Amino acid sequence: MAENEMKVLVNEEEQYSLWPSYLDIPAGWEDTGVGGSREDCLAYVKEVWTDMRPRSLREQMAGAAGQASGK
């Protein structure tokens, strides 16, 4: 792969990152299978990462909302 090619990674909190394709994936991150130019990767992330809050915070807030409504 070319040195300027990127891949999109995601962590357990469903946060995304662009990563150079020639480097090993760091611990705690997984390859989404999406790769290519920086622009292509950014377009993908913009499409799928619509809520910037970490997954644990979203779940916590959803639980608090459920308790507030008496569920």
Domain boundaries, the chain: 6-68
CATH code for the part of the protein at 6-68: 3.90.820.10
* CA 10 distance to own-chain centroid: 4
CB atoms within 10 A of CB 10: 17
On whether the CB atoms of residues 9 and 17 are closer than 8 A, the answer is yes
Does the structure show a pLDDT above 90 at 55? no
Q: Point out which residues pair with 9 in neighbouring strands.
A: 17, 31
Q: Point out which residues pair with 41 in neighbouring strands.
A: none
Residue 71: per-residue pLDDT: 56
The predicted model scores a pTM of 0.78
Task: Classify 46 as helix, strand or coil.
Answer: helix
What is the pLDDT confidence band of residue 1, given thresholds at 50, 70 and 90? low
| Mean pLDDT of the chain, nearest integer | 90
CB atoms within 10 A of CB 9: 20
Residue 24: per-residue pLDDT: 97
